[in-house]
Amino acid sequence: MITRTEAVKAYLLDLQDRICNAIEAFEEDTRFIEDTWIQPAGSNGHTRVIENGLVIEKGGVNFSHVFGNKLPHSASAHRHELAGRDFESLGVSLVMHPHNPYIPTSHANVRFFITKKESEEPVWWFGGGFDLTPYYGNEEDCIHWHFVAQQACKPFGPDVYSRYKAWCDNYFYIKHRNEPRGIGGLFFDDLNEWDFDTCFAFIRTIGDAYIDAYLPIVQRRKAMAYTEQQREFQKFRRGRYVEFNLIYDRGTLFGLQAGGRTESILISLPSQVRWGYAWKAEAGSEEARLTDYFLQNHDWLGVHASKASA
């Protein structure tokens, strides 16, 4: 009989393959390289990295299977009763940083946790989601991204998309900058409100939806001309991405607290990034419109509906 963990692992490994194949379809000669690793306690994974392609400047798609005897605080912050338990975690996490500043950076992950304590039933839950970080915003892309997210959630309840969209907006918020990291998407954690089969089906739907959400955007934007000035702005905005990941991201904190593999954990960081002291975009510019309009808490599907009826 296939265990829950085995079933989840088989799906995640297949998802990693399919996402890498889909990204490679945009590249002529550049391919992912794979770094397979194993640690003394049995934790293992497959880190896949693509760099300096025609479309993707740096991207990573990681599979990890982690074991530990003390659940880190970052994974039990909302479930204090589980702190200190033995745990097992499986997941696929990815980030894509494109060359072209008209293509947004994208991030996604799906994960499964199970904790064990002698004489008690194991406790399991799922988490994950996907979010989009544009540099030069485009309403068509934002609407498409959220439409795919909504359709993925729809079979699981009428309020699932709205709840997980709001969670994403709240989670991917850079508090010290007082601004969102991007235009959101979906985020959820501690998911075990349904039975295992339903939760697992939801995770598969979300994992599969990432390809449908991101690839059409890449296809539309990859040939757009851009200037060196726009590349500099992209690097500046990537600084915000780095700040969030190193200060707030629970996945990064979990990996480091669990003694994970540093190179794999920090694969989300872009290869080229910059900071400028007190830099501000010129009022009315495309760069200013990113924060003035796109990085606001929009109902992107409502934007689409209102424009369609206008």
How many Cβ atoms sit within 10 Å of the Cβ of residue 40? 5
Instruction: Name 182's Cβ contacts closer than 8 Å, sequence gap at least 6.
Output: 104, 105, 131, 132, 133, 134, 172, 295
Determine if residue 48 is labeled as part of a ligand binding site. no
Ordered DSSP codes for 226-248: --HHHHHHHHHHHHHHHHHHHHT
Determine if residue 261 is labeled as part of a ligand binding site. yes
Q: In 3D, which of 146, 141, 109 has the Cα closest to residue 128?
A: 109
Determine if residue 260 is labeled as part of a ligand binding site. yes
Determine if residue 146 is labeled as part of a ligand binding site. yes
Determine if residue 93 is labeled as part of a ligand binding site. yes
Q: In 3D, which of 127, 43, 48, 30 has the Cα closest to residue 95?
A: 48
Determine if residue 111 is labeled as part of a ligand binding site. yes
Determine if residue 289 is labeled as part of a ligand binding site. no
The single residue of 46, 80, 99, 107 carrying the catalytic annotation is 107
Q: In which element (H, E) is residue 147 found?
A: helix 139-153
Dist CA 57 CA 269 (whole Å) = 11
Determine if residue 238 is labeled as part of a ligand binding site. no
**What is the DSSP secondary structure assignment for residue 42, as one 8-state letter?**
S
Determine if residue 259 is labeled as part of a ligand binding site. yes
Tracing tokens 């996604």 back to the chain, one arrives at 108
Question: 107 catalytic, yes or no?
Answer: yes
Determine if residue 110 is labeled as part of a ligand binding site. yes
Dist CA 220 CA 103 (whole Å) = 9
Beta strands in the chain (DSSP E): 33-38, 44-51, 56-68, 86-98, 105-117, 120-133, 173-174, 179-180, 184-191
The residues assigned a catalytic role are 107
Pick out the residues of the known binding site for a divalent metal cation.
97, 107, 146, 176
Binding-site residue set: 93, 97, 107, 109-111, 146, 176, 259-261
In the annotated binding site for substrate, the residues are 93, 109-111, 259-261
